[in-house]
Amino acid sequence: MPRHASTQRDHHRDTVPVSSRAVDFPPGHIRPLHHHAAAQLIYAAAGVMVVSSAAGQWVVPPTQAIWMPAYTAHTVRMVNAVAMRTLYIQPDAASGLPERCHTVAISDLLRQLILSAMDITGDYTADSRDGRLMGLLLDELNFLPVLPLHLPLPTHPYLVEICQRILDAPDDKRTLRDWAQVVGVNPKTVQRTFAQQVSMTFGQWRQQARLLMALERLATGQNVLDVALSMGYDSPSAFTSMFRKQLGVVPSEYFRIGE
C-alpha cells in the first residue's frame, strides 16, 4: 500500500460530531487510495466490501463494519452491489475510540441507528432528537466487539513474494519448508519473520487468507463445494469445520445472519 493517498472530497460536516452519507455502488467498483479528515464507520447495509490499508485487508459483510481512524489511507472494493452507509466522526468526538483499523460486529440496534442517521442531513444540537440519536450512536461505538476478519500483510520482500503467490493460488498446498526453498531462505528464518511481521505463524496466515477469500466467493453466490476446493481443502466438510471454528457458523448460514 503506498504511503500517500489523495484526499477525496470530504462529505462529513465539521459543524456536528457525527454526520452520515448514503451511496450505492455497482459490483466491482473500487474507491481508490484516499483518506478523510474524520474517522469513519464504513458499513454496507447490503453487499460485501473489501477494505485495504497499509495494515492489511478486511472483508466486510452487512453484519459487520470497518472502523477507520482519521487520515488512514485506504481503498474499498465492492465484491457485489453495495449499499454503503458511512458515519463520519469528528476527532474530538472519536477521542475515546480505537486508533487502528478493525472489523466490528453490528448489532440490530446499531444497524437501525445507522440507517436512521442517514436521514439527518442538517446541523443539530446535542439536546435535539437528532443530537440524542447521534449521541447514542457514539455510545454504541464504544462497545463494538472486534472480529477476527483481518489479514495483516508483511513488508519483508521474501514474505511479500510468498504471500502474494498464496493469494494468487490459495489452493497451493506447498508447506513452509517448500516456500522457504522457493525464496532461498532457511525455514526457521521464514517462520520467525512471519511471527515478527504479522504476529501469526505461516499456517495461521494462510488459513486466514483462505477464509477471507472464501468469504468473497461465497458472497458472490459460489457454492460451498467449489469454494472449498478452490481454497485447497480436500473436502467441503474440512472447509466447513474450519469456517465454523473461526466464525461460529457454517458457510451456508453466514450471510443470513441479521436478515
Domain ranges of the chain: 6-147, 153-254
Give the amino acid at 99.
E
Residues present in the chain in total: 259
Lowest mean pLDDT among 2-6, 19-23, 203-207, 225-229: 2-6
CATH assignment, 6-147: 2.60.120.810
Work out the mean pLDDT of the chain and round it to a whole number: 88
Between 167 and 253, the higher pLDDT residue: 167
- CATH classification for the domain delimited by 153-254, as one of 2.40.40.20, 1.10.10.60, 3.20.20.370, 3.40.30.10: 1.10.10.60
Q: Is the pLDDT of residue 141 over 50?
A: yes
Q: What proportion of the chain, given as a percentage, has pLDDT over 70?
A: 93
Query: What integer pLDDT is reported at residue 258 of this predicted model?
Result: 46
The cell for 228 is 472449498
4 backbone dihedrals φ, ψ, rounded to 5°: -105, 145
The type of residue at 52 is S
Nearest CA-CA partner of 107 in 133, 143, 58, 134: 143
pLDDT at 120: 93
Position 98 scores a pLDDT of: 80
Percent of the chain with pLDDT over 90: 65
Query: Residues 6 or more apart from 257 whose CB is under 8 A from it?
Result: 63, 249
**Alpha carbon distances (Å) from 12 to 91, 119, 178, 258:** 12, 14, 49, 28
First to last CA, the chain: 34
Q: What is the pLDDT of residue 257?
A: 52
The reply to whether 153-254 shares the fold of 6-147 is: no
Sheet with 39-46: strands ordered across: 18-25, 82-89, 39-46, 64-68, 102-105, 146-147
For the stretch 64-114, pLDDT in tens is 899 999 999 999 999 999 999 999 999 888 777 888 888 888 888 999 999
